[in-house]
Amino acid sequence: MTDNKALEPKAPMLVYLDHSILNQILKGRPRLRDVLSAKNLQVVFSDANLNEISNSEGRGQDFLSLLGVLGAQYLRLVHDDQFRSTDRAVIEAIDPTAAYNAYLTNQRESPSGDGGISNLLKKVYGGYPNKTFGEIVQSGQEEITGWLDTLARELSSSSIPSEIDTSALLQALPQMKQQLAAVSTELGQKLDADAPRNQVKAIDSELGVGPKDLNNLKGPDILGQIWSRIEEKLPEGAVTFDEFFGLVRPRWVADSRPMTKLEQINSVYHQLNFRGYCRDENMPQRFDAHFRDLTHVGMASFCSLFLSGDERQVRKAQAVYEHLGVGTCVHHIPPPR
């Protein structure tokens, strides 16, 4: 008697592609395109891919057409009712060009900037040599103040339903802005007072651990190996293993919500790069690309296979996935010579 279950079609394997793989195909790797078009594979793309395409300088339609040829579907992260990321994602059969246009519209309508956080990190990596930490913090404070002013105008508009009482928040906004200015001034002064030690190279030197040592590490347990080299050089009780790698929220953060697996992946990936394990070169110039790489690794964790042409990204992803028990297989496809 035939076993009907054996005749049921298997779900295709989800494959996530870093932008470097799409670029390789466009530059002349048709065999790779053909392999990815197999029926047992389902290529997906995310907002991180769309962000890369938006920066592709005139080649956007080429990348979108390629995603169409591959039959790629849209991998969308699910957010909760407070717009926070969750550990769920859904796949939607949306035309890549339509998804791209919707992405651009959303970017135009969303607030830009991050309150100066990215610029502070760039400074730590050696960027902005002609700016002080205080100047960068001040610029971030002005950005946040602009958001608060926009919020105040929206709350004062006639479009807000009359049954919603916005008076308390509007009254509190001036004090919030004053407190923000005071905190920003204090933070900038503290960072500048210790500026020589607030640079990645200085931190590498102080801990006696950097890329030259860490890049030679072999798995398994890359995180454990790094911790064993650093733990004894940190003040006793200053930080735990989980705090150091961003697996839990810092003890001084009031948010008691457990971190999602995606948040942990992002935190560990960044910390590995910061500490010097397969650190990206030219970080002041490549800082934004680093965060795109980080986002790709997080979204790829929802898939079975992650392909990338960036060996540094692959090794960090493998270390992160191994520690967190993520089943995604990571494969490096070097660009043709």
Give the three-state DSSP class for 334: coil
CB-CB neighbours of 181 under 10 Å: 15
Strand spans (E) along 2-154: 13-17, 41-45, 73-79, 85-92
Out of 53-62, 173-182, 195-204, 277-286, pick the least confident: 195-204
Cβ contact 334:311 at 8 Å: yes
- pLDDT given at position 49: 97
Report how far residue 330's alpha carbon sits from residue 314's, in angstroms, rounded to the nearest whole number: 6
Q: Tokens 């070097």 map to which residue?
A: 334
For residues 31 and 25, what is the distance between their CA atoms, to the nearest angstrom? 8
Q: CA of 18: how far to CAs of 21, 32, 124, in Å?
A: 6, 14, 27
Q: How many helices (H) and strands (E) does the chain have?
A: 16, 6
pLDDT at 159: 65
How much is the pLDDT for 7? 46
What pLDDT digit, counting tens, does each position of 256-308 carry?
788 899 999 999 999 999 999 999 888 888 888 898 999 999 999 999 999 99
Whole-angstrom distance, CA of residue 111 vs CA of residue 287: 20
**In 197-235, which positions are buried (b, 16+ CB within 10 angstroms) versus exposed (e)?**
ebebeebbeeeebbbeebeebeeeebbebbbeebeeeee
pLDDT of 5: 45
Q: Is the pLDDT assigned to residue 163 strictly greater than 70?
A: no
Q: Which long-range contacts (CB under 8 A, 24 or more apart) does 171-175 make?
A: 173/148
**Across residues 245-252, what is the average pLDDT?**
85
Of the ranges 13-22, 25-34, 77-86, 190-199, which one carries the lowest mean pLDDT score?
A: 190-199
Provide the mean pLDDT of the chain: 87
Token pair 């995603």 is found at 67
**Could you give phi then psi for residue 326, rounded to 5 degrees?**
-80, 130
Task: Let me know: does 71 contact 94? Beta carbons within 8 Å.
Answer: no
Q: pLDDT at position 2, please?
A: 41
